[in-house]
Amino acid sequence: MPEHIVTSFDAELELLRSKIAEMGGVAEKMLDDSTRALVRRDSALARQVIEADSRLDNLQREVEENAVATIARRQPVAVDLRDIVSAIRVAGDVERIGDLAKNTSKRVLAISSEAHPAKIVVGVQHMSDLVQAQLKDVLDAYAERNEQKALDVWSRDDRIDALYNSVFRELLTYMMEDTRNITYCTHLLFLAKNIERIGDHTTNIAETIYYVTTGEAVAGERPKGDTTSFTTTGEI
């Protein structure tokens, strides 16, 4: 939109929303494709994910620039100000989700030719399914400014963390059973961690939605996080 056209405040907000909706669509596809590339050993698909990431980076920059221009021009207060600041935050989270899907795809390329028992990726695939559902729901909640849906996403993050913890332990077991699995499983560990972190970003977005609609922070502690940093040999 050229700068010299005078737009309404509502149109400026709508533009931010539509850019974030577009970012969300790109990120959802990147996450889905990166997981399918892992399961099917599809290097071409992994490369598509890597290429898609620059679109997200550009959109994030546009959201940030538009949001700052709107704040300076309109001097919004209360819910309108929260709405615009939230757009910057959500765009940041979605951009990070894209980065993580991109990194996942790079690892898929690295291990695509290595032999491994098919069962090893099952846990990671299941994690990805859960996180994709979370991402879809939180993007819907953002589009609708629906804090109840956002709270649902927020409270479901512990399922992903629990699954990540079990995948982490399972992968260590495969490594101990057969040292030839170590390189493959190490990449899967980082890949599973990427997916767990995408889950954390959906939780961040849920918190932002709650803040926009209510003006308050989510009450209570965030759902229990990744506990593998406390995993010792004795506990496995």
Q: Verify binding: residue 156, a copy of itself, rule CB under 8 A.
A: no
Q: Are 124 and 31 in contact (CB under 8 A)?
A: no
Return the residues of window 6-65 that contact a copy of itself according to CB under 8 A: 64
Q: Verify binding: residue 79, a copy of itself, rule CB under 8 A.
A: no
State the Cα–Cα distance between residues 222 and 160, nearest whole angstrom: 13
Q: How many residues are listed for the chain in this entry?
A: 236
Q: Verify binding: residue 111, a copy of itself, rule CB under 8 A.
A: yes
Helices 147-177 and 122-144 meet at what angle, rounded to 10?
Answer: 170
Return the residues of window 193-232 that contact a copy of itself according to CB under 8 A: 193, 229-232
Q: Verify binding: residue 81, a copy of itself, rule CB under 8 A.
A: yes
Q: Report the residue from 1, 5, 44, 72 that binds a copy of itself according to the rule CB under 8 A.
A: 72
For 9, the 3-state DSSP assignment is helix
| Cβ atoms < 10 Å from Cβ of 204 | 19
Minimum gap (Å) between residue 233 Cβ and a copy of itself = 4
Minimum gap (Å) between residue 183 Cβ and a copy of itself = 4
Q: Are 34 and 108 in contact (CB under 8 A)?
A: yes
Query: Total number of residues binding a copy of itself (CB under 8 A)?
Result: 39
